[in-house]
A and B are shown apart, each in its own frame.
Chain A
Amino acid sequence: MLRYVLRRLALLVPMAFIISIVVFAAMRAIPVDPGELVLGPWATAEQRELARQKLGLDQPIAVQYVRYMKQALQGDLGRSIKSGKEVSALIRDTVPNTLLLGGTALLLAYCIAIPLGVVAAVRQNTLVDQGAMGFALIGISIPNFWLGLLLVLVFAVNLRWLPATGSGTVAHLVLPAVTLGLQYTAIVARMTRSSVLEVLRQDFVRTLRAKGLRPGRIIYLHALKNAVIPVISLLGLHIGGVVGGAVIVETIFAWPGMGALLVNSIIARDYPIVQAVLTLLGVAVLLANLLADVLYAAADRRIKY
C-alpha cells in the first residue's frame, strides 16, 4: 500500500509538469500581443517591441518556460497585467476562501446524503425511497448556476434572510455552500442507496438474518459499515469536481475565491493570473484524483497494487 502511494506520488511530479507546460503553451498560443495588453492599443511598434523584450517574450518558448518555472518554484508567479499586484499574493488571499467553501459544501453533502441513501435503500420501492431518489435526480439535473440564482431569489430577494453576495460571516457562506453541495448530495445519496442494496443482498447478511439478529442491528451495524466504505472512497473524485464547481458558484455569489479570480481574469484577459490559477487548480485536481485512488485501494483490501 505504502509503495503504491509512493509510486503514485512519484508519477504526480511529471504529470504536474505536463499540466504546467500545457497551460503555459496555451497561454502563448493566444492571438493577442502582450505588449499591446500592457501598454494599450495606442503604443507604437517600438514601444511594444521594448515591452516584449522586457517581458522576455523575444526568447524561444522553451527558454521562457524554464525561466517561468524557476521563478514559480520560488513563489514568484509574476504580476497582474491590469492591477500590477503580485499573482502569488492574489492566490494566497483566495485559496483559504475556496477551501472553506468547498469543504463546507462537501461536508454538508455527505452528512445529508449518506443517511438519505441508507433510508432509501432500507425502504426500497416505498414512497420514502421514490421521494429521496426523485430529489436526487432533480439535484443532478439542476445546473448549479441556476440553483444559485433560485436560492438568491428566494432567500435573499424575497425572504431577505441571507445575503446574496459577499463573504465574511457564516450567513454569507450558507447559499454558496448549499449551491455547490446539492449536486454531490444527490450523487452520494444515489451511490449510498445502491451500495447498501448490494450489501444487503450478500451472503453474510443472510447468515446474520438466519441466526436471528434483529433487522435494525443487521442494517445499522453490519451492513452500513460495508456499504459506506466505497461511498467515502469516492470523496477524492468529488474534491476534483468541487474545484470545478467552485469556479461557477464563486462567480455567482461574488465569493472571493480562486474560481471567481479565474473567471474575472479570463474576462479581463489578465493572462499571468489565468495561467497561475489554471495550473494550480489542475495540480489540485491531480492530488484529488490520487487521493481518490488511494482511498479506493484502502477501502477494498481485495485490490492489490
Chain B
Amino acid sequence: MDAPPEPGTWNAEAIGAPFSPWRDFLSRFAANRSAMVGFVIVLTLCVMAIFAPWIALHPIAEQDLMVSLEPPLTDEYPLGTDQFGRDIFSRLVFGARVSLQVGGIVTTVSMLIGITIGCLAGYHGGRVDAVLSNLINLVYGFPLILVALLFVAVMGPGLGGAMIATGLVTWAGFARIVRGEVIALRNREFVLAARALGRGNAWIIVRHILPNIIGPVLVIASFTMAVAVIIETSLSFLGLGAQPPTPSWGSMLNEGRSVIYRAWWLATFPGIAIATLVLGFNLLGDGLRDVLDPRMRT
C-alpha cells in the first residue's frame, strides 16, 4: 500500500476525476488541524445547545437551598451547585443556547448589512465608495462595548439592546473585506462578459461576485461569532445582558464573583465554557482563512 497522497497534490484518481472546488475545500479543511479542532469544538457545543433538555440533569431554575454551594464531583451535581442550590452543569448546558443564539442572530444580521454595504461601496466606487468607506472606518475602529452600553442605557438591561448594538458595529468587519474583494473582482473578465451580455448590476453581484467572496465572508463570520459571544457574556456579567432566570454563562460568572471566597467552581466552569466556545470560533476562523486563502496554497 502506498502512503495516502498529500492533500492537494495530484494522484491517479484525481487526474481522472473532474476538479470539484467543494471536494477540494473539504479535503483541505480536513487536513487543517486548527480548522478541525475549532469545528469539533463548535459542533459539540451546538449539539449540546440543541439537545439541552435531554443532556441537563436538573431543571435550570430548580432551587434547593439544602444543597447550596455543593462542591463539584458529587453524584448528583457533577460541577457543583450555586448559592441557590441550582445544578451548574445543567445551567451551563442551557447557557450554550443563549450564547449561540445571540451569536447566530448578530452574525447573520451583521453579515447581511456588511455584504450589502461592502458591495455597494466596492462595486459602484466613486462618491458612494468615499462616503461608505468613511462610515466603515469610523464604525470599525469603535469599541463594541461602548456602543453596547449606550444601547443598554437606552433600552434597559436585556439581550435585545445588546444584539442590536453588536450588529450595528460588527457589520463593518464584513463590509471592509467584501469591499476589497469586490474591487478586485469588478473588472475581471467574467464580470465584463456578463455586463457585455446585458446583465443588470444586481444580477452580476448576486450571480457572479457573491459566489466568489463566500470564503472571506465565512472567515469573518467565524470571528464575529467569537466577538458576539464575548459581548453577550460581558454584558450579562455586568448584569446588563441576560436577566434571571435565563442562564447565561456571563451572569453565572457574576453570581460566582459574590461567593468567590467560598466557592471556586462557580467562578471557574462558566468561564471555561466561554473560553472554549470563543477559542473554537477563533480556531475555526484561523483554519478557514488558511484553507480558503489561495496565497497559502503551495
A22 to B165, CA, bound (A): 14
**B141, CB-defined interface residue at 8 Å:** yes
**B45, CB-defined interface residue at 8 Å:** no
Binary interface encoding of chain A residues 260-304 relative to chain B, with 1 for a CB under 8 A from any of its CBs, else 0 = 001100110001001000100110010011001000000000000
Q: Which 10 A-B pairs have the closest CB atoms?
A: A244-B143, A146-B271, A141-B279, A244-B145, A289-B141, A141-B278, A149-B267, A145-B237, A266-B153, A26-B154
- Among residues of B, the one whose C-beta sits closest to the C-beta of A275 is B153
Q: Which residues of B contact A285 (CB under 8 A)?
A: 141-143, 146
Cross-chain contact B279 with A153 (CB below 8 angstroms): no
Cross-chain contact A278 with B146 (CB below 8 angstroms): yes
Q: Which residues of A contact B282 (CB under 8 A)?
A: 137, 140-141
Q: 20 A-B pairs, CB-CB below 8 angstroms?
A: A137-B279, A141-B279, A142-B271, A142-B275, A143-B230, A143-B278, A145-B237, A145-B250, A146-B270, A146-B275, A149-B253, A237-B141, A240-B141, A240-B142, A243-B146, A266-B149, A266-B240, A278-B150, A285-B142, A285-B146
**B128, CB-defined interface residue at 8 Å:** no
One of A48-56, A91-99, A247-255 at the interface? A247-255
A122 to B127, CA, bound (A): 45
CB-contacts of A58-114 with B (<8 A): none
Cross-chain contact A243 with B143 (CB below 8 angstroms): yes
CB-contacts of A226-255 with B (<8 A): 237, 240-241, 243-245, 247-248, 251-252
Cross-chain contact B143 with A23 (CB below 8 angstroms): no
CB-contacts of B226-262 with A (<8 A): 226, 230, 233-234, 237-240, 250, 253, 256-257, 260-261
A33 to B230, CA, bound (A): 33
Partner of A281, one of B144, B146, B230: B146
Q: Which residues of A contact B286 (CB under 8 A)?
A: 137
Q: Could you tell me the distance in whole angstroms from the C-beta of A92 to the nearest C-beta in chain B?
A: 20
Q: Could you tell me the distance in whole angstroms from the C-beta of B81 to the nearest C-beta in chain A?
A: 18
**A9, CB-defined interface residue at 8 Å:** no
Cross-chain contact A266 with B141 (CB below 8 angstroms): no
- Among residues of A, the one whose C-beta sits closest to the C-beta of B152 is A266
Interface residues of A (CB under 8 A from B): 15, 22-23, 26-27, 29-30, 137-138, 140-143, 145-146, 149-150, 152-153, 157, 164, 237, 240-241, 243-245, 247-248, 251-252, 262-263, 266-267, 271, 274, 278, 281-282, 285, 288-289, 292
Cross-chain contact B238 with A141 (CB below 8 angstroms): no
Cross-chain contact A248 with B278 (CB below 8 angstroms): no
Cross-chain contact A247 with B146 (CB below 8 angstroms): yes
Cross-chain contact B257 with A252 (CB below 8 angstroms): yes
Cross-chain contact A244 with B144 (CB below 8 angstroms): yes
- Among residues of B, the one whose C-beta sits closest to the C-beta of A142 is B275
Q: Which residues of B contact A289 (CB under 8 A)?
A: 141
Cross-chain contact A150 with B233 (CB below 8 angstroms): no
Tell me how many residues of B have a C-beta within 8 Å of chain A.
39
Q: Which residues of B contact A244 (CB under 8 A)?
A: 143-146
Cross-chain contact A153 with B143 (CB below 8 angstroms): no
Q: Which residues of B contact A150 (CB under 8 A)?
A: 267-268, 271
Q: Could you tell me the distance in whole angstroms from the C-beta of A30 to the nearest C-beta in chain B?
A: 5
Q: Could you tell me the distance in whole angstroms from the C-beta of B266 to the nearest C-beta in chain A?
A: 10
Cross-chain contact A30 with B153 (CB below 8 angstroms): yes
Binding site secondary structure of chain B: helix
**B65, CB-defined interface residue at 8 Å:** no
Q: Which residues of B contact A30 (CB under 8 A)?
A: 153-154
A274 to B152, CA, bound (A): 11
Cross-chain contact B150 with A145 (CB below 8 angstroms): no
Cross-chain contact A263 with B238 (CB below 8 angstroms): yes
Q: Could you tell me the distance in whole angstroms from the C-beta of A7 to the nearest C-beta in chain B?
A: 13
CB-contacts of B266-298 with A (<8 A): 267-268, 270-271, 274-275, 278-279, 282-283, 286
Q: Could you tell me the distance in whole angstroms from the C-beta of B135 to the nearest C-beta in chain A?
A: 11
| Given A141-B282, A288-B141, 6 other A-B residues pairs in contact with their CB atoms under 8 A | A23-B150, A137-B286, A138-B279, A143-B278, A157-B264, A281-B146
Q: Which residues of B contact A153 (CB under 8 A)?
A: 260, 264, 267-268
A152 to B266, CA, bound (A): 13
Q: Which residues of A contact B233 (CB under 8 A)?
A: 143, 145
**B30, CB-defined interface residue at 8 Å:** no
Cross-chain contact B271 with A27 (CB below 8 angstroms): no
Partner of A247, one of B149, B153, B239, B279: B149
A281 to B264, CA, bound (A): 34
Cross-chain contact A263 with B260 (CB below 8 angstroms): no
A266 to B146, CA, bound (A): 12
Contact A274 B153, CB 8 Å, known A143-B271, A145-B237, A241-B143: yes
CB-contacts of B129-148 with A (<8 A): 138, 141-146
CB-contacts of B91-145 with A (<8 A): 138, 141-145
A247 to B261, CA, bound (A): 24
Cross-chain contact B146 with A282 (CB below 8 angstroms): yes
Cross-chain contact A149 with B260 (CB below 8 angstroms): yes
- Among residues of B, the one whose C-beta sits closest to the C-beta of A141 is B279
- Among residues of B, the one whose C-beta sits closest to the C-beta of A262 is B149
A143 to B234, CA, bound (A): 8
Partner of A263, one of B141, B149, B230, B250: B149
Cross-chain contact A267 with B239 (CB below 8 angstroms): yes
Cross-chain contact B154 with A29 (CB below 8 angstroms): yes
A211 to B32, CA, bound (A): 38
- Among residues of A, the one whose C-beta sits closest to the C-beta of B145 is A244
Cross-chain contact A26 with B260 (CB below 8 angstroms): no
Q: Could you tell me the distance in whole angstroms from the C-beta of A274 to the nearest C-beta in chain B?
A: 5
